[in-house]
Amino acid sequence: MPPWADAVLVPVISLLLAFAISAVVILLIGESPWAALKVMVTGALGSSYGWGFTLYYATNFIFTGLAVSVAYHAGLFNIGGEGQAAMGGLGVALVLLAVPWPHWALALPAAMVGASAFGALWALIPAWLQARRGSHIVITTIMFNFIAAALLNYVLVNILRPVGSMDPASARFPQAAHLPKLGEIAASLGFAWGKNTPANVTLFIALGACVLVWLLIWRTRLGYEIRAFGRSEKAALYAGISPTRITVVAMLISGGLAGLMAINNVMGESERLVLNAVEGAGFIGIAVALMGRNHPFGILLAALLFGFLYQGGGELALWTTIPRELITVIQALVILFTGALDNLVRMPLERLWLNRGRG
């Protein structure tokens, strides 16, 4: 089978299968899939308001998708994006509350350091345990998601909560640290676009991260080592690549990327740290990375698709009787078909190609 078929045809057919079954699910709950699709498209893409939300969600998913993919290139399945992004939020909050920032352009790099450092730190422990103690990274990252949630709950309730407030949330970040929203930028340029939507300058950082991850994985020595290690641990060891170093470095980058997501949701949107700020984006990263075939460009496309699904799903819940959870089902089917069942599509396709070659 030619490489393009494996890279494009297999995921596209898997995706279509996932969508077909989603349509059947919608039919089963007595709604019209066509009408649902129309609500989703107009709600997510039909106005600059919809686009503002779609791009905001897509920004989250780019970070978590890249995070999952960097680990995946090293043969590590990082399910801990949720916890790492939550800890990244704590990093952002601590940085922004500790210093009275005079301008967002100064606050942003500092918050980025805080976010990625906390995310990376949260990934470091499972990485080290996998590299040195042989404990399976999937299990430890799952455990670390729960531990992060509990830790954050404790910190918000007992430490960061302002005196007199009943809300388990931190104080508001200083006004000067407010990140420009895309809608505000458009307004200052004199046209109305995406008013009152949370999409902000973090989108450009996410796009930059895509380019950097592409450079890292395919254009640097470290990226080569990561891929070699992911393909064959034995061969990598023989080539003088240290498994411990690659495992730890890949997970640090992965956790850092997941943590960076907090710039978008914590600093850019809510402007204070609240409970469950990540809203499952860490898990959606898994679907995004699988669908994007672990390539930054694929991840960008997949993140846009999931941004559309997320925003469209919200509109669906608003205007029809179909609950938001439809998105969870679609997400599950995408993960199932593009991740676990891709041989279901690949096997017949390979047979097709073999027969064609023979004939």
Task: Output the six-digit token pair for 148.
Answer: 């992060």
Tokens of 183: 């809608």
Q: Does 138 bind other proteins (CB under 8 A)?
A: yes
Is position 290 an interface residue for other proteins (rule: CB under 8 A)? yes
Question: Which of 1, 9, 12, 25 touches other proteins (CB under 8 A)?
Answer: 25
Which listed range, 34-42, 50-58, 147-155, 269-277, lies at the site for other proteins (CB under 8 A)? 147-155
Contact residue for other proteins among 2, 4, 34, 133 (CB under 8 A): 133
Of the candidate residues 142, 186, 203, 237, the single one contacting other proteins (CB under 8 A)? 142
Identify whether the C-beta of residue 59 lies closer than 8 Å to the C-beta of residue 202.
Answer: yes
- Selected from 147, 186, 207, 237, the binder of other proteins by CB under 8 A is 147
Q: How far is the CB of 313 from other proteins (least distance, A)?
A: 10
Q: Is 171 in the site for other proteins (CB under 8 A)?
A: no
* Distance separating the N- and C-terminal Cα atoms of the chain: 15
Does position 144 interact with other proteins (CB under 8 A)? The reply is: yes
Q: How far apart are CA 133 and CA 282, in angstroms?
A: 25
Tokens matching residue 196:
């009152």
Query: Per CB under 8 A, does 333 bind other proteins?
Result: yes
> Binding of other proteins at residue 354 (CB under 8 A)?
no
Nearest to 285, CA basis, from 263, 260, 267: 260
Piece in contact with other proteins (CB under 8 A), picked from 58-66, 209-217, 303-311, 343-351? 343-351
Q: How far is the CB of 27 from other proteins (least distance, A)?
A: 11
Closest distance of CB 278 from other proteins, Å: 15
Amino acid occupying residue 125: I
Q: Which of 27, 98, 106, 154 binds other proteins (CB under 8 A)?
A: 154
Residue count (the chain): 359
Burial bucket for residue 280 (CB in 10 Å: 0-12, 13-18, 19+): middle
**How many Å apart are CA 347 and CA 52, to the nearest integer?**
40
- Our CB check for other proteins shows the closer of 63 and 283 to be 283
Site for other proteins in 50-79 (CB under 8 A): 77, 79
Write out the binding residues for other proteins, residues 244-283 only, by CB under 8 A: 283
Q: Interface with other proteins by CB under 8 A: which residues?
A: 25, 28-30, 77, 79, 125, 129, 133-136, 138-140, 142-144, 146-147, 150-151, 153-154, 158, 283, 286, 290, 321-323, 325-333, 335-336, 339-344, 347
